[in-house]
Structure formats: structure tokens, C-alpha cells
Structure 1
Amino acid sequence: MDALNRFLVRTMGWMPARVALGAMAWLGFINLFMVRLNLSVIIVAMVGRNTSASSRAYCYNTTGSLDQPSVPVLGVAVVVQQGEFDWSETIQGLVLGSFSYGYLLTQVVGGRLAEVYGVKWVFGGCILAGGVSNLLSPAAARLHYGALITLRVLQGLCQGVAWPSMHACLAQWIPPLERSRFVSIVYFASTLGTAMTMPLCGLIIDNLGWPAAFYIIGSLSLAWCIVWALIIHSTPAQHPRISPEELQYIESAIRTSGTSRKGPTKVPWRHIATSLPVWAIIICDVGNSWGISLLNFLLPTFMKNILGFSIKANGALSALPFICRYVGALVTSSVATWVSARGLLSVANTRRAFSVIAMLVPAALVVALVQVGCDWQATIAILCLALFFNGAVTSSIIVNHTDVSPNFSGTLFGVGNMCASVVSFIVPVVTGIMTDGQQTLGQWRKVFWVCVPMYVLPELFYLAFLSGSVQPWNYDTQEPTNLSTATGTTGTPKHNTVTTTTDKHNTTTNTTIIVPSQPEKNGSTQDGRCGM
């Protein structure tokens, strides 16, 4: 390892350690979602159209009522693809949703494991499990769909730790003003992974067959795991190649934000369970998860059975909305960082404004979506716009955990993601039941209509009860007990005041530390390097 460290210092010593972490985590999230969501495209090639449905896509048939096939609109011949398996829509829904059955069980465990033991092995292990699961998937599917469901449940069980473990890493590694940008670039690589998976799977399936899509994507995950294990470390203090200046900058910034050097040993479950700001995040996350789960798992099915695209065209067009979501995340997070750095809005109002963009604008666009019928160009355009604006979740609900409790952000994210994961396996099953033997535009309109209240009602709750402040239960009794922000007349934070109280041998000592809360101009950090 010493030789490796010397080599990395010579070749990559110019790169801040947190940027290297971000780059590897970015690739990790791409891999995470490639092995998770490739089945949504592959299943289109695995399974033939249900015999109870028309042999042609809805929009290619010729009658005109809402629940009967209508006039063709695409102007090209439909390729009728016969899959290897004869699974009904209900079985397909169970297979697609099975990942989430296991995924929800390890959310809280993943956040807590990373808070206590670090992100290196927790996050790395879950990517490894996904790669192995993909390599075994073709054999499991050919054995029985129940075997594939079992394998997917186990994959979800292992990969449920991914997001909460990285959220714990966020609180340890990334200064507060860099977090929105880090989340948009790194976390939303998951969206980029979705966008890459769909056309890549389509291309592989078209040339090599559906099993090859599992084998190639699984192998990419294993290759990533080797590099991650060699160069990544769980905390800045453990990193052998970090510069003293960067280490001091990170540790000073995260202490000011309320993150303890040593994570608290006891989770304040009662306070978490009764905290309205926490419930606001959880409920809004559940609403957002409904719409994203629908598109993640079932957009390729809609594109094939209703709009009539071949597997290759299906993958490419299904990817476009997710590319727009990634771009939207980058744009909105940059705006949020600019607004916060200049004190134009408080943390709470920043979260509030960007949550409106992320939830209510897509709800309005879904209303428009159900009106366009078989107009595939309008359908794709509306989906692209909806997911572009939904990218603003990176500056609202996704990062809000670190505002209210940086010490327990991984645990909070795990709790919220566990609840959202329930939605992830309900959506494919409910949609499968609604469209079983009824692959018509009328039924799919009903599916899309359900998204509207699932966006609007949780968002109203979030707006009413969100918080941008560190909660008192964030701290142990031996840790900082009060964190306040002094502001001038413009509302711009001038400094953070951290008051620490220690009680040892019946002697009480109060210490107040005032640390500047704003970075230097032009986004530069204290070590003179560009921030993440």
C-alpha cells in the first residue's frame, strides 16, 4: 500500500482528496443504478407481449376510442419481439418490484453502519453485491421467475445501504456550502446511470442478446470495486494522501455545521420520531419516489406497449428524461449555492423554493402529459421537462437531512429512503394490476393521474413543517449543545457561534468559538484549491 500511495501522490497529488472521493462515488452511483435498473429494459426483451393484449402496440392499431387501439402515429413499422418468457403483467410487476422488497430493510442499518464504521466498505460492498447479482440473473430467470425474484430481493437487501452510507460520508467529508453541488453531481449520477443503462442495454440486447446485458454491466461493477477498495478512505483523518490544509479546512467547516469529530454513540429515536421537520422530509421523499419509481421501472414498458418503439429506440428515448433530470440537478444546485453564498435566502427558504420547483412543476406537467395521447414527441418533451425540474430535489429534500441533524444524517436518510422504498415496490405491482391485459392509453392515463396527488400533497406538508436549522437532539451531552448563526441586517450569515459545554470532575467549562461561515470568493477553499 505504501508503494501505491507514493504512486498516487506522484500522479494525482494535485487533486483534493474530496474531489477524488466525489469522482469515485460518481462512478459508483452510475454502477449502482445500472445493476439496479437494467432489468426494466432487459425484461422488455425477456418477455413476449401478453397473449391477452393486442399483438401490436396500442398507438399502431386503428380504432379510435380511448380504451381501444387508435390511429398509428410513428410512421415506421412495429417490430413485434417474442421474448423467452411468458410472464403476465402482474408477474412482471412482481419481478420489477422485488428489488425494493429487500432494499427497504437495510436503509437504517446502512446509515448507522457508515456513521460508526465508515463508508469505504459499506458503500463498496453494496456495489460488489450488485455486480455478482447481475452475473447470476440469467441463470435465475431460466430456473424460475421466483428464483429471479429471490435474487433481486437479496440484491436490494445488500444495496439498501448505498444512499444512507453516502449521506453519512457527506456529513464527514463535504463542507456545508459544497453539499448541494456535491449531491447534484455525485448522487444524481444515479440518474445519469439510469440514462446510460437504457440505451446501453438496448444496444447490447440488439447485438448480443439479453443475457449479455446482465454480464457486461455486472462486470463493470466488479472492476469499479477493485479501484474503490485501493484508493478510498472513510474519513479525511484516515486519508494518507490528503494535504494538511485540506484536512484542516474540512474538519473546521464540518464542526461549524454541527458535525461531531466522533459520531454520537446513541441515536435519539424518540426525538427523531416526534420531529416534524424529519417527517416533512420523509413524507415529501415518499411522494417524489412515486413518480420516479414509475418512470424508472415502467417507462420502457410504456414506450413499447403503447408507443410501439423497438428495443433499441426504446432505450435511447427512455434515457432522455433522465439526462434532463441530471442537467436540471446541476443547474438548480448551482443556483441554490449562489443564492445561499450571497445570503439572498435562508437555508429554510432555499429548501422551500427548490422543493416547489421539484414537486409542483412536475405535477402540473403530468396533467399535461395525460392530454397528449399518442403524440410521442409531445410525450417525450413533457417527460423531459418534468424530470428537469425534478432535479431541484438535490437542493431541497435530499440535502435537508444534513441541515437538521448532520451527526445522524445517514440514519435519517436511511429512515426516509426506507419509507420511499415501500413506494418503489408498490408502484410496479399496482401498475401491473391496472394494465394486466389492458395495455391501452386509457389505463396508462389512470396510472399517470395517480402521480399528481402524490406530488402535491406531500409537498404541501413539507412546506408547512420543514426546517433549515440543526435540531437540539443532534448532539450528545458531551458534544456542542447550541449552534446559532449571527446575521446582519441583510440576513447574510456573518459567523457561526458554537458553544461547547463539558462537565468533568464537577467542573464546568464553557467555550465559545467564532468561525467565519463564508468561503473565500470565487468558490476557492482555504487550501487554495477549487472546491467540489
Structure 2
Amino acid sequence: MTQNIINNKECGTIDNKTVKAPAGLGIRHWQCVLFFFGITTAYSNRLCLSLAIVAIKDEDVNHESGLNNGYDSIVLSSFFWGYTLMQVPSGYLAKTRSAKLVLGIGLFISGFASLIVPLANDVGDWSAICACRVIMGLSQACLLPCTHTLLSKWVPPSERGRLGSMAYSGAQFGTVITYPISGALIQIAGWRSTFYFFGGTAILWSCLFFLFGADSPMTSSRRALCVIGDDEKKYIESSLGVSETTPKTSGNPPWKSILTSMPFWALVIAHCGQNWGFWMLLTELPTYMARVLKFNYSENGLVLALPYLTMLILIIPVSLLSDWSGKKGVSRGLSRKVCNTIGHWGPALAILSLSFAPLDHATLPVIILIIAVGLNAGSMCGFQINHIDLSPNFAGILMSITNCVASVIAILAPLIVGEIVTGDQSDVMQWRIVFYITAAIYFLGNLIFIIFGTGSVQPWDKVTDDVNKGIVLSVKSSTVPSAISASVSN
């Protein structure tokens, strides 16, 4: 028996019965709100050090911590050491255990690690702070794999664009609010207050998530604090092709099939291209604005927030357009590729134009930078949720692998830029080389995604239990009407 999990309208089908979406907001929407604020708190915890480290170095006049001796860059990058290491294990735990439990515990530990950063600085040196950052990275490695796993169980395909983008826009929202809040806290109460505030926020979110979060509509219906209505539950389960009687998948992912899948590797390359561009801009923009565009510190902080605020705003129309195109019969694969093209080739063109923008007046370069970062919003409905398209059953595993590889790129990007931009950081020609490389990576990554990517469920997304062999969750054109088969074309 084959279960179809394709849906282009606001309804689901199970046992040849159509189940329409309930009116108004449902538990699935509130779950996505929880995911949004979870990602927001996670990004706030990892980014607040970027601003606080300046105040720490100013306080450390005797150079006791070592941050003024060149160790600050090591401390800033140490988060990604743990983050990269635990990607695949956390994705596996999210699939085989409880994604809710793994995510809640992960962000709780991250918040606690943030709380003890001031103590680590007071009783130790840069290595103690570095240890806290590594712990934070290890615990936050579960963020995207768990969120993907939870989204694959809570969000119907027809709502994947807007609800998935809403959840992941917490990264941009966290980026936008962290800098001004950190600056105000440092000015009012000192740099230690930033870690107390954001660490406490992460712990508070974890407690709320334990109370109101749920792994799936099925588990939600059994809990007093997170009860889903029967209509919404039937709608979600029918849209995803699952029910209480649907056999559960094995905890062993089809590793060989995944690692030999061309659409999966196209997804890996697209994710790497995004991470290079996004983290290069995030880490190097402050230096470029200060050294080349001559912004002072207060102006720099304000201008830095504008590109990410623009990206946050653009996510809304892009996600709505993505879901609307699905209702109009546009294949999911085509929709993902168009959105990802906006999110990659748009910034590539903007960055190229930045190389030739006159620097006499900073207004034009700032506008170009806002466009370059803002258009990254397209990737939220592109590669970012394509993991769920390829494999609803192993979406968290796929995200853990792609994010692991892409995290290595996030580590390398600032290091490579540091090798290119040497000596005089106001040298425009050196920055042009960085922009050329970034534009090329954006372009090639998306080109491979266009050629080899797909929006179709892959054949290896299936039940592997020996008892349940033959129960396949992927769509096969030979067993469904031609109209439905056409909707999942590449």
C-alpha cells in the first residue's frame, strides 16, 4: 500500500476523503511560533559575544585574559568547533528519540553556558571563555536538525513555505535585536549583563518549550498543556499521508542511498554557498564599513541591523508567493529553484556591483549591502526547506549532514578573507577579490541546485522495518493520477 504525501491545496486526502484546513490559527501555528523564538534565542546567545568582546578587551587593560593578545578571533570561532562536531549525532537523536527533548535540553545547556561566561572570564583566561563557547556550539548543534524534524511532522506541504520560513526567520530577528539590546545593556549595566540576559532568556524558552511543545500532532493530542483539535490533527496527518495506524519508520537512515543521491549533494552545495555568503557578510561587514566606508561605531551598529531587518521583512512576501505558486499548479521543485535563485543570484549581482560602487558617498554602498543581504530571504523557501521535500522521514538527518558540511565553510570564510585582506584593511582592491569570490560561489552553488536539485520525495524515503517492508512513503508516478504526478515534477 502506498501513502501519498503530495498536496497542492489547503486540504489533505486520506482513504479517498478530503480533509480541509480548519479556519483560523491552530496548534501547528503556535508550535512554529515556539520554533521561531527558539531560533531567536539561540542566535542571540551565539552573537552577543561579537559586541561584548570589545568591552571585555577594553576592561582587560592588563591583558590578563589574553583577548588583547590576538586570541579574540579564536574565541569567536570556537562556537563552530562544537557546532560542527555534533551536527550529525544531534540529527540522529532527533530522528530516533525525541526532537522536542533534544532541542529543549540543547538550548537549556546553551543558556547555562552563556550565564557562566562572566565567571569563566573572572576566574580564568581566554581558554575558559573558549570552553564556554565550545559547549554552546555543541548544545546548539541540534537547532536546525531538530527544527527540521519537527516541521516535517507539524507543517503540511501546502504551508511549508510560509510556516517554515516564519520559523527560520528567527535567525534574522535574533540578529536584528541582539546588537541594539547588547549595546544598551553594556552601556547601562556592563558587558556581563548581556550574557545574563540572553542566557536567562534561553533557559526560559526551554522551560516553555517543555510545557507547550510537542513532537507531533499525535503526541500533542495526549498532553494537557498542548492539545490539538481533531479537525486540525486529521488535516495535518492526511496532508502528510500519516495517521495513528501508519507504521513507524526505522531509526536507521538509508545512509548509502542518501550519500549517493545527486539531489542531496546539490542541496549540500547550495547550503555551502549560502553559508559562505551569509557568514562572510555577517562577520566581515563591520570591518568593511569601518575601514572602507568610514562609519564610526555607533553608526556601524545601526547600519548593520538594516540589511538583516530587510531580509526579515522580505521573508514574508517570498514565503507567501512560494505557497501561492504551489496552489496555482507550479511544481514544488520549480518553486524551490526560483526562490533559491532570488536568494543566491540576487546577492551575487549586488556584491559584484558593490565592487564598482563609488565610495565618495557611503549611501549607495549601504543600499547595495542592504539589497545583498536582504535578497537572501529567497533561500528560506529554496534550499532551506528542500530537505523536507526530499525526505519527510529523514529531514532532520539531511539537515544535520548539510549543516555540518556548511558549518566548515562558515569557519573557513572569515579565515580566507583574513588571508586576502591583509595589512591595510581599507584597500578597496583587496575587498574586490573577496566580493568576486563570494559572487562566484553564490552563482555556482545555485547553478548546481538548479540542474540537479528537485522538489520530489526521494525513493529512499521509506519504511525500513522488516515487518513493514513494502510500505513506501514516496510518490510513484505509476500509482497516482497523472495530475498529482505532474505536481511533483522537478
The verdict on a shared fold, with TM-score over 0.5 as the criterion, is yes
User: Corresponding residue for 2:130?
Assistant: 149
Partner Cα distance (2:413, 2:120) in 1: 24
Partner Cα distance (1:400, 1:441) in 2: 39
1:64-79 matches, within 5 Å, as none
Pair 1:492–1:267, CA change in 2 (3 A):
closer
User: Corresponding residue for 2:108?
Assistant: 128
Partner of residue 391 from structure 2, selected from 401, 405, 410: 405
Q: Which digits, 9 at most, give the CA deviation of each residue in 1:133-160, with x for residues without a partner?
A: 2212233345222222222112111100
User: Corresponding residue for 1:388?
Assistant: 374
User: Corresponding residue for 1:139?
Assistant: 119
Question: Is the deviation greater in 421-430 or in 160-169?
Answer: 421-430
TM-score (norm 1): 0.78
User: Corresponding residue for 2:141?
Assistant: 160
1:249-328 matches, within 5 Å, as 249-255=235-241, 262-328=248-314
Aligned-pair distance for 1:302?
A: 3.6
Aligned-pair distance for 1:43?
A: 2.6
Pair 1:433–1:492, CA change in 2 (3 A):
closer
Structure 1: which amino acid aligns with 2:344? M
Question: Is the deviation greater in 211-220 or in 259-268?
Answer: 259-268
User: Corresponding residue for 1:5?
Assistant: none
User: Corresponding residue for 2:85?
Assistant: 105
Partner Cα distance (2:350, 2:283) in 1: 20
Q: Which residues of structure 1 form unaligned runs of 5+? A: 1-13, 49-80, 497-532
User: Corresponding residue for 2:326?
Assistant: 340
User: Corresponding residue for 2:346?
Assistant: 361
1:90-239 matches, within 5 Å, as 91-141=71-121, 143-239=124-220
Structure 1: which amino acid aligns with 2:109? A
Structure 1: which amino acid aligns with 2:449? Y
Partner Cα distance (1:89, 1:357) in 2: 42
Aligned-pair distance for 1:237?
A: 0.9
Aligned-pair distance for 1:170?
A: 1.0
User: Corresponding residue for 2:13?
Assistant: none
Question: Is the deviation greater in 166-175 or in 263-272?
Answer: 263-272
Matched, 1:476 2:456: no
Aligned-pair distance for 1:256?
A: 6.8
SS in 1 for 2:52: helix
Aligned-pair distance for 1:203?
A: 2.0
SS in 2 for 1:323: helix
SS in 2 for 1:473: coil
Q: Which digits, 9 at most, give the CA deviation of each residue in 1:334-388, with x for residues without a partner?
A: 1111111110x21111112111111111011111122333643223211211122
Give the paired residue count: 448
Partner of residue 455 from structure 1, selected from 407, 420, 442: 442
Partner Cα distance (2:437, 2:158) in 1: 36
Structure 2: which amino acid aligns with 1:173? W
C-alpha RMSD over aligned residues? 2.8
Aligned-pair distance for 1:474?
A: 0.6
SS in 2 for 1:474: coil
Question: Is the deviation greater in 148-157 or in 203-212?
Answer: 203-212
Partner Cα distance (1:487, 1:392) in 2: 31
- Sequence identity percentage: 31
Partner Cα distance (1:133, 1:463) in 2: 41
User: Corresponding residue for 2:364?
Assistant: 378
Partner Cα distance (1:192, 1:83) in 2: 34
Q: Check the 8 A contact 1:41/1:300 in 2, yes or no.
A: no
Aligned-pair distance for 1:90?
A: 5.8
Pair 1:206–1:216, CA change in 2 (3 A):
same
Aligned-pair distance for 1:164?
A: 0.6
User: Corresponding residue for 2:10?
Assistant: none
Aligned-pair distance for 1:484?
A: 3.5
User: Corresponding residue for 1:25?
Assistant: 35
Partner Cα distance (2:35, 2:135) in 1: 22
Partner Cα distance (1:306, 1:129) in 2: 39
Q: Which residues of structure 2 form unaligned runs of 5+? A: 1-23
User: Corresponding residue for 1:415?
Assistant: 401
- Greater Rg over alpha carbons, structure: 1
Q: Check the 8 A contact 1:94/1:428 in 2, yes or no.
A: no
TM-score (norm 2): 0.84
Q: Check the 8 A contact 1:264/1:407 in 2, yes or no.
A: no
Partner Cα distance (2:185, 2:422) in 1: 28
Partner Cα distance (1:361, 1:31) in 2: 29
Structure 2: which amino acid aligns with 1:200? I
